[in-house]
Amino acid sequence: MRRIQAVRWGAFLSLSIVVVGILWWSRSEKRPNILLITLDTTRADRLGCYGYELAGTPNLDALANRGVLFERAYAPAPMTSPSHASIFTGLWPPEHGVFTNGQVSLDDSLSTVAELLSAEGYNTAAFVAAFVLEGKFGFQQGFKYFDDDLSKAAADIDVLHQYRDGRYVIDSAMNWLERREAKKESSPFFCWVHLYDAHDPYIDHPKEFGDKFSDRRYDGELAYVDLQVGRLLVKLKSSGLEENTIVVVVGDHGESLGEHGEETHGYMLHDSTLRVPLVIADPYAEVDSRRVQSPVTIVSLFPTLLELTGIKSSSAQASLSLAAASRGSAIAPQLCYSQTDEPYLQAFWSPLRGLTTERWRYVRSTKAELYDLQSDPQELLNLVETEPDVVIQLDGELAAFEDSLERRVGGRISLSRREEQALHSLGYAGGAVPEPDKAPTGEALPDIKDMIGFLNRLQKATDLIDSQDIESAITILEPLATEVPGFMRVHLNLALCYLQRGEFDKAAHSCSLALEIDPDSDRALDMAGFSYLKLQQFDKASQHFQRLIALQPDSENGHLFMGEIYQRQKQYGLAMRHYGEVLRINPGNSMARAAYTAIQQSIGPP
């Protein structure tokens, strides 16, 4: 309780600082430009400025040397969309409702930093690299120019992880700056640049680095990102903008790289995925190479950016501004909340909620975690059993903090048919999205620490499926289906493999096991219906497709195969009705058009 009161007192102090900031900027002749660079999937401890001797990040290191570096900056979630939503709104994930990637959007009712700056006369522009930050997910709010063109994205990457090379992002941002210069625009700008290259899968850049990073591909990706950042910073300087542009560089989340058993990110709450780089280089602040040791949350960037431009932030914001620290003043440690729902969303395992303080990290899950970050920075020794008083204190503070949040539901998204089908194939759009806050009470959900090995094996099998090595994938999936019978994605992927082998009876069985876990899984209903159709068990096929259509009225496959079933049963009127629905949904579906035309020619119009 004392700590929560401290947060509220900090909020009062933050508001006072904002007022001072307004007076400070009122004496300035010219408001500053803001360049915000968000680095996807970037661990702080893999940059040279954070002490990593093998890093190839000279441009970011140089930026840190002329600004303020925050040693312990933490993301609110180890996911791209939730963290960016927090950066732009100053709200925690439960408050803005963006809890995962590709499922919900940032609601229009929320005010973003771009909207507030635009209203104050700032020219706002954004250049994003990844699908999950496209305008359709609400991140375009407040930007007069929003470049999310992924036409140059690699075609062999699934839609949820599609991105464009950082070179193209920086090219677009530099072109925009050149157009401003050509037009002699005098208004200040807020420019957001997002770079995604460090995200898995990591690729080599032999043209830029030869074989220097051939055995350290993640480091190589960060070096490539640094190269692109350097290009943009050189452009600022050559255009005469450096002296009036505050540059903020921040990571949205980190990368586990195998630590704690996690290969990438999203499922665990450790420094590897939460501790991110944060550098503020303010040409107006007489501060060079300063380091802030206190823990801070990147949610604080919302009021920070506003204060740096002299705009008053809402008193409802719980975050504390970091503007004072960027000018050389000391700041109090911040309470850093974090969460991930991915274990529950993907496998109905326990979601995680955590607090990070100066000394401790506490994670609430089925099997709670407590780490002393001062004596155990690698988080190898769980102290839950030996420090029960600390657990009780932090769990109470976590509960009180969550109770103080005003929860929102994320906005609806509008995806193209291709995107819906792609997400559907990945299992991301199946049925209703599970809500972790509505998990069965009193039920001990599996803990990610016990399940991460199974998840890694599933990912390996998924990679094998993508490479068309179905036999090898099955050798992984069949034992998994027995070892973790409640892991729905295992059954779905196994059903997909059986379908590709033409083993429709086995595919139907795997789908039935998936539907026992989630009766509303549209992917399971779709594959089960198709399997029974191939087995000529039309009643069972019809039951599954009708259930699919009830859940997803615009299910193209549902209507297509119901049309085929009725056509085989010579119920031509019903068949034409379903084929007509397919053509309404997708006029280019040649199978439905051919079947519709054939029936029409044989029996006449319906």
pLDDT score for 432: 46
For 46, 47, 206, 356, 370, the CA distances from 259, given in Å and listed in that order, are 14, 18, 27, 19, 17
CB 527 within 8 A of CB 536: no
> Tens digit of pLDDT for each residue in 379-405?
999 999 999 999 999 999 999 999 999
pLDDT score for 196: 96
pLDDT score for 606: 56
* C-alpha–C-alpha distance, residues 55 and 214, integer Å: 14
pLDDT score for 3: 31
> Tens digit of pLDDT for each residue in 141-165?
999 999 999 988 877 676 778 889 9
> Tens digit of pLDDT for each residue in 295-307?
999 999 999 999 9
Class of domain 417-552: mainly alpha
- pTM of the model as a whole: 0.89
Q: What is the dihedral of CA 70, 244, 253, 199, to 10 degrees?
A: -130
CB 338 within 8 A of CB 74: yes
pLDDT score for 435: 59
- Of 197, 131, 151, nearest in space to 205 by CA: 197
Contacts of 368 (CB under 8 A, 6+ apart): 362, 384, 391, 395
Q: Which residues pair with 411 in a beta bridge?
A: 105
* C-alpha–C-alpha distance, residues 313 and 38, integer Å: 21
Query: Which long-range contacts (C-beta less than 8 Å, at least 24 apart) are formed by 183-189?
Result: 185/123, 187/121, 187/122, 187/123, 188/30, 188/31, 188/32, 188/33, 188/34, 188/121, 188/122, 188/123, 188/244, 188/309, 189/33, 189/34, 189/122, 189/123, 189/124, 189/125
Residue range 2-335 in CATH 3.40.720.10 = yes
Per DSSP, 139 falls in state T
- What are the DSSP calls for 70-106, one per residue? EEEEE-SSSSHHHHHHHHHHS--HHHH---SSSS-B-
> Tens digit of pLDDT for each residue in 582-594?
999 999 999 999 9
Domain ranges of the chain: 2-335, 417-552
Ranges under pLDDT 70 in the chain: 1-29, 156, 158, 314-319, 412-443, 604-606
CB 111 within 8 A of CB 424: no
